[in-house]
Amino acid sequence: MTPLGQLLAGQIAVEGPMRLDRYMGACLLHPAHGYYATRDPFGAAGDFITAPEISQMFGEMIGLALAQAWVDQGRPTPFTLAEAGPGRGTLMADMVRAMRAVPGMVAAAQIHLIEASPALRDIQRATLAGHQVTWHDSLASLPDQPVFLVANEFLDALPIRQFQRVEAGWSERQVGLGADGALLPGLAPPTRLAALEARFGDTKPGDVVETCAPAVAFAGDLAAQIAAQGGAAILIDYGNWHSLGDTFQALRAHQPVDPFATPGEADLTAHVDFEPLAQAARAARAQASAMTAQGVLLERLGITARAQTLAQAMTGQALDAHIAAHRRLTHPAEMGHLFQTLAIVPQGVALPPGFDAL
Residues that bind ligand SAH (CB under 6 A): 28-29, 36, 42, 50-53, 85-87, 91, 114-117, 120, 152-154, 157-158
CA distances for 355 relative to 41, 114, 161, angstroms = 31, 25, 30
Q: Minimum Å distance from CB 43 to ligand SAH?
A: 9
What is the smallest separation between the CB atom of 347 and ligand SAH, expressed in angstroms?
A: 28
Closer residue to ligand SAH (CB): 42 or 70: 42
Q: State the minimum distance, in angstroms, from the CB of residue 340 to ligand SAH.
A: 15
Of the pair 236, 288, the CB lying nearest ligand SAH is at 236
**Closest approach of ligand SAH to the CB of residue 180, in Å:** 31
Q: Which is nearer to ligand SAH, 60 or 115 (CB)?
A: 115
What does the buried/exposed string (b/e) look like for 345-357 if buried means 16 or more CB atoms within 10 Å of the residue's CB?
bbeebebbbbbee
CB of 207 to ligand SAH, least distance (A): 27
Q: How far is the CB of 122 from ligand SAH (least distance, A)?
A: 12
CB atoms within 10 A of CB 17: 18
The answer to whether the beta carbons of residues 286 and 348 sit under 8 Å apart is no
The residue (of 73 and 117) whose beta carbon lies closer to ligand SAH is 117
Q: Which long-range contacts (CB under 8 A, 24 or more apart) does 244-251 make?
A: 244/202, 244/203, 244/207, 244/208, 244/209, 245/207, 245/208, 246/162, 246/208, 246/210, 247/210, 247/271, 248/20, 248/24, 248/160, 248/162, 248/210, 251/47, 251/48
Q: How far is CA 128 from CA 83, 87, 133, 305, in A?
A: 13, 12, 8, 27
At 123, the amino acid letter reads I
State how far the Cα of 216 lies from the Cα of 232, in Å rounded to an integer. 17
Q: What is the DSSP string of 137-194?
A: SSGGGS-SS-EEEEEES-GGGS--EEEEEETTEEEEEEEEE-TTS-EEEEEPPPB--G
Of 87 and 354, which CB lies nearer to ligand SAH in the complex structure?
87
* Minimum CB distance to ligand SAH, residue 50 (Å): 3
Question: Smaller CB distance to ligand SAH: residue 28 or 281?
Answer: 28
Q: Are strands 231-240 and 147-152 parallel, antiparallel or unpaired?
A: parallel
Distance in Å, CB of 167 to ligand SAH, minimum: 35
| Distance of closest approach, residue 54 Cβ to ligand SAH, in angstroms | 9
The helix/strand/coil state of 235 is strand
**Which lies closer to ligand SAH via its Cβ, residue 170 or residue 274?**
274
Taking the least distance from each CB to ligand SAH, the nearer of 69 and 113 is 113
Residue 149 carries which side chain, given as an amino acid letter?
A: L
Q: Residue 196 or 338: which CB sits closer to ligand SAH?
A: 338
Q: Rounded CA gap, 227 and 344, in Å? A: 9
Q: Which is nearer to ligand SAH, 42 or 248 (CB)?
A: 42
Distance from C-alpha of 174 to C-alpha of 85, rounded to nearest angstrom = 26
Question: Least distance to ligand SAH from the beta carbon of 153, Å?
Answer: 4
